[in-house]
Amino acid sequence: MADDRPAREPARRPGGRTARVRRGILEAAAELIARDGIGGLRYDQVAELAGVNKTSVYRNWPDRTTLIADALATFGTDAAPVYDSGDVDADLVGFLEALAAATASPQGRALLNVVTSARENPELRAVVDEVFDRRLATLRDRLQTAVERGELPATDLSLLGAMLAGPVQLFVSRGARTFTRADARKVSAIVLAGLRTTAACDGAPVVGRRAT
């Protein structure tokens, strides 16, 4: 108790004890949001799950909405990275696999929870928008590079991004079975082949199978 100095700003050494405690609190908060939604988030449960004093949670996040926002925002940065190996087909398979894992994680489910239940809260809505926008923007940037290098034909990159990420999110949130690397390969192969084929026939009617 003699060592508890709430008036003093804790040191913020990256990787230090304070950083570890903060990260632990944010991970615990995300896990509880994933389980119970925003409405069910309680400071004492966060502290218990993170293995810290309730005081630590209150001192770092006096405001509840900020705690929720930070728990979701820290997650968005590197959950599903898009690499540039020079081979867009291979990079997309890696991204779709990472996206499936990220969506199935507690933080991923917390995000999906907030998307639908925090419509009325502009601050949280902004955080969710930013995480999704950043994720889709990273994907779009990689696709844009591929277009510039002639690996892909020019197209609406937002729609193309949804065609790659959408199937993963539906599969994972429906929870029928795990989205595998083979699934990632199939989705990527079909979408890219379809894009290249339809672009090659641009202006011409889509090839059908019927004689009429």
Distances (CA, A) of 200 to 23, 65, 196, 206: 49, 50, 6, 11
Check residue 14 and report its DSSP letter: T
Check residue 206 and report its DSSP letter: P
Output the CA torsion 7→12→15→20 (10° steps): 30
Tell me which of 148, 173, 178, 181 binds a second copy, using CB under 8 A.
173
CA atoms within 13 Å, Cβ hemisphere of 210: 1
Residues 45-84 that bind a second copy (CB under 8 A): none
Binding segment (CB under 8 A) for a second copy, from list 43-51, 59-67, 71-79, 161-169: 161-169
**φ, ψ for residue 14, nearest 5 deg:** -65, 130
| Binding track, positions 86-125, relative to a second copy; x by CB under 8 A | xx-x-------------------x--xx-xxx-xx-----
Q: Which residue bears the tokens 């599903």?
A: 80
Q: What's the one-letter identity of residue 121?
A: N
Q: Would you count residue 132 as binding a second copy (CB under 8 A)?
A: yes
Binding segment (CB under 8 A) for a second copy, from list 58-66, 72-80, 137-145, 194-202: 194-202
| Binding track, positions 1-30, relative to a second copy; x by CB under 8 A | ------------------------------
Kindly state the smallest distance separating residue 162's Cβ from a second copy, in Å: 4
Kindly state the smallest distance separating residue 177's Cβ from a second copy, in Å: 8
How many residues sit close enough to a second copy to count as binding (CB under 8 A)? 51
Structure tokens at 39: 């409405």
CA distance 13 to 136: 31
Structure tokens at 7: 């008036």
Q: Would you count residue 144 as binding a second copy (CB under 8 A)?
A: no
> Who's near 160: CB < 8 A, 6+ residues apart?
143, 191, 195
Q: Would you count residue 189 as binding a second copy (CB under 8 A)?
A: yes
> Which residue ranges make up the site for a second copy (CB under 8 A)?
35-37, 39, 86-87, 89, 109, 112-113, 115-117, 119-120, 132, 136, 150-151, 156, 158-159, 162-163, 165-171, 173-174, 176, 183, 186-187, 189-195, 197-198, 206-210
